[in-house]
């Protein structure tokens, strides 16, 4: 099975490239994947047939066009599209219905797996405390102990407070480029240590099991 993986940001693609090898084996052997990071999540357009501005690499803005294209080009039974997005402050069930609605408007429909990180992708890194501590031995245990897994709490800020000098306030004051670089660094350092079979994040477990089901493993 080949997976086309669309994700809303670069840090998520870094983590997923590492994690998918733990789930599926070496890329290009029994299974393969290609990752496409975007520059933010954006929003689903009201007119699903509207032509989006290609310069705006926002995942949901481009999603109707992308899924229509995949519907025409992917090999049935051999290829799958995986869409990975953050829930942020949305209602999960309503958001999932919106995503499925975009897919249902496609003729033909590509084989597609929607997966939502609750609240943010950093929840999947926080879901493996051993991996986090292996990457950051001095991570603040008081911050980690207070975190409720997959809660709506400002997840990336929790991880920042646990591992980054100055915590989330320092990154927030420095602006997005600094926060983006830090998120990429967390993904690059924590993901190699992750045990995909013991991650405590339910939203990660749903992602892992969905990929395995599509791959037939």
Q: How many helices (H) and strands (E) in the chain?
A: 10, 4
Residue 154: C-alpha distances to residues 7, 12, 123, 168 (Å): 19, 16, 10, 10
pLDDT reported for residue 200: 98
Q: How far is CA 3 from the centre of its chain?
A: 14
Residue 183 CB coordination number (10 Å) = 25
CA-angle at 55, arms to 73 and 79, nearest 5°: 20
> Measured between alpha carbons, how far is 166 from 61 in angstroms, rounded to an integer?
35
Per run of 10 residues, the mean pLDDT along the chain (length 217 residues) is 97 98 96 96 91 87 96 89 97 97 95 97 98 98 98 97 96 91 98 98 98 95
In this prediction the pTM is 0.94
What are the structural domains of the chain?
2-121+200-215 (3.40.50), 122-193 (no CATH)
> Measured between alpha carbons, how far is 132 from 147 in angstroms, rounded to an integer?
13
pLDDT reported for residue 124: 98
pLDDT reported for residue 195: 98
pLDDT reported for residue 150: 97
pLDDT reported for residue 77: 76
Mean pLDDT of the chain: 95
């Amino acid at each position: 099975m080949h997976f086309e993986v669309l994700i809303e940001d670069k840090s998520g693609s870094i983590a997923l490239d590492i994690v998918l090898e733990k789930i599926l084996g070496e890329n290009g052997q029994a299974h393969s994947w290609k990752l496409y990071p975007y520059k933010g999540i954006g929003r689903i357009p009201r007119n699903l047939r509207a032509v989006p501005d290609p310069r705006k690499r926002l995942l949901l803005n481009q999603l109707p066009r992308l899924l229509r294209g995949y519907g025409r080009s992917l090999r049935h039974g051999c290829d799958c599209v995986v869409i990975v997005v953050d829930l942020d402050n949305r209602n999960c069930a309503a958001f999932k219905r919106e995503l499925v609605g975009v897919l249902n408007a496609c003729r033909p429909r590509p084989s597609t797996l929607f997966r939502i990180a609750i609240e943010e992708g950093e929840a999947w890194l926080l879901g493996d405390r051993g991996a986090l501590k292996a990457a950051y031995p001095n991570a603040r245990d008081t911050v980690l102990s207070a975190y409720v897994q997959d809660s709506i709490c400002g997840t990336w800020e929790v991880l920042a407070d646990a591992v980054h000098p100055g915590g989330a306030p320092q990154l927030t004051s420095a602006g997005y480029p600094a926060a983006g670089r830090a998120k990429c660094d967390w993904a690059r350092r924590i993901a190699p240590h992750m045990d995909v079979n013991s991650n405590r994040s339910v939203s990660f477990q749903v992602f892992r099991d969905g990929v395995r089901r599509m791959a037939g493993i």
